[in-house]
Amino acid sequence: MLEALNRDAQNATIAKFIPNELDAEREKVALLHQQGSQQAELLREQGVQQFALLRQQQAAASGSMHSRRPETLKIDIS
The pLDDT tens digits for 10-54 are 888 889 889 989 999 999 999 999 999 999 999 999 999 999 999
Q: What are phi and psi of 2, to 5 degrees?
A: -65, -30
pTM: 0.51
User: What DSSP state is assigned to residue 74?
Assistant: P
User: What DSSP state is assigned to residue 68?
Assistant: S
Confidence band of 65 (pLDDT split at 50, 70, 90): low
